[in-house]
């Protein structure tokens, strides 16, 4: 029998977490196959892997697949229903500059669309972003990033002249680059992010740079992210499932 998630415990451990969005709409050109549909040694697809782990946090799960229609395994859907965890498919935010065209606005548009789906929640809470180019799970990411959520950041002013805290994005980073698609985004950024996209901007790093709190990526995670080629994926799987080599 599937055990239900304890609601009181869920609210205590994820008090600042509004939901998890799983980014699954990338083109996967170098992989040669949709990353969300990759088969893991655990005999599940990568998308199901991320949904299953995200469900442990007990918050709404959003799939942003750029309208590619990816589905979740029936047994997993049943577990989500038993635990009363909403699963949503959202459309990417459509900036006015590309309205009516087939052009997409990238990962930020997926994040903005997910934020808009959570508009009724406290703006001080965060949306977790998990990308399908990684095997780092939502609970692991929450454990690494959540200690930085309730720091009082120094307020800064962005291009829209709105004042926001400089820890409104909490993201992993290595010695050289941030990982903005393994991060927490405060919901108060929704209007700023939409305005940024409406202005024709798409660059994720440029958007988060003045408002991001970096958190050093653990060394053991280095081979579990930026999975862009079949070799990358094979190496990452071997790290988690050594018997699959």
Q: What is the DSSP string of 63-124?
A: EE-TT------HHHHHHHHHTT--EEE-PPP--GGGTTSS---HHHHHHHHHHHTTTTS-TT
| 114 located within any domain | yes
User: 61 with 54: CB under 8 angstroms?
Assistant: yes
Nearest to 181 by CA among 197, 200, 204: 204
Residue 105 reports pLDDT greater than 60: yes
Q: Read off the pLDDT of each residue in 104-130 and give the average, rounded to a whole number.
A: 88
Task: Please give the backbone phi and psi of residue 170, each rounded to the nearest 5 degrees, phi first.
Answer: -115, 115
Is residue 119 one of the residues assigned to a domain? yes
pLDDT value, residue 8:
41
What pLDDT, in 10s, does the model give residues 3-54? 333 444 444 468 889 999 999 988 788 898 999 999 999 999 999 999 999 9
pLDDT value for 98: 66
Over residues 61-76, the mean pLDDT reads 94
Q: How far apart are CA 216 and CA 228, in angstroms?
A: 21
Contacts of residue 102, Cβ cutoff 8 Å, sequence gap at least 6 = none
Mean local confidence (pLDDT), 58-64: 96
What domain count does the chain have?
1
Flag whether pLDDT at 71 surpasses 90. yes
Q: Is residue 2 assigned to a domain?
A: no
In a domain, 1, yes or no: no
User: The domain spanning residue 175 has which CATH number?
Assistant: 3.90.550.10
Range of the domain at 148: 7-244
Residue 28 confidence (pLDDT): 82
Give the whole-angstrom CA distance, residue 83 versus residue 61: 12
pLDDT at 89: 94
pLDDT of 15 reads 80
Residue 3 has what pLDDT?
32
Q: Is residue 93 part of a domain?
A: yes
* Full-model pTM: 0.88
What is the enclosing helix (H) or strand (E) of 157?
strand 155-157
pLDDT band at 122 (very low <50, low <70, confident <90, very high): confident
pLDDT at 155 exceeding the cut of 90:
no
Calculate the average pLDDT of the chain.
Answer: 86
Between these two residues, 25 and 82, which has the higher pLDDT value?
82
Q: What is the pLDDT of residues 157-207, one digit of tens each?
A: 554 445 566 679 999 999 889 999 999 999 999 999 999 999 999 999 999
Q: Between 159 and 128, whose confidence is greater?
A: 128
86-99 pLDDT per residue, tens: 999 999 998 877 66
């Amino acid at each position: 029998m599937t055990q239900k998630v304890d609601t009181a415990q869920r609210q205590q451990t994820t008090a600042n977490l509004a939901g998890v969005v799983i980014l699954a709409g990338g083109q996967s050109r170098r992989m040669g196959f949709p990353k969300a549909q990759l088969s893991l040694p655990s005999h599940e697809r990568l998308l199901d892997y991320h949904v299953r782990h995200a469900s442990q946090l007990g918050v709404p799960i959003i799939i942003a697949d750029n309208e590619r229609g990816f589905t979740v395994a029936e047994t997993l859907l049943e577990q989500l229903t038993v635990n009363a965890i909403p699963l949503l498919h959202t459309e990417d935010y459509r900036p006015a500059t590309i309205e009516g065209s087939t052009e997409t606005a990238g990962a930020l548009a997926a994040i903005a669309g997910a934020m808009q789906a959570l508009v009724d929640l406290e703006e001080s809470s965060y949306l977790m972003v998990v990308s399908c180019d990684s095997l780092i799970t939502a609970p692991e990411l929450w454990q690494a990033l959540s200690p930085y959520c309730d720091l009082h950041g120094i307020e800064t002013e962005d291009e829209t002249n709105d004042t926001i805290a400089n820890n409104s994005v909490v993201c992993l980073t290595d010695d050289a680059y941030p990982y903005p698609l393994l991060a927490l985004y405060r919901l108060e950024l929704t209007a700023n992010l939409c305005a940024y996209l409406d202005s024709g901007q798409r660059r994720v790093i440029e958007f988060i740079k003045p408002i991001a709190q970096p958190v050093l990526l653990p060394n053991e995670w280095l081979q579990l992210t930026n999975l862009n080629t079949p070799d990358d994926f094979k190496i990452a799987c071997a790290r988690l499932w050594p018997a699959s080599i």
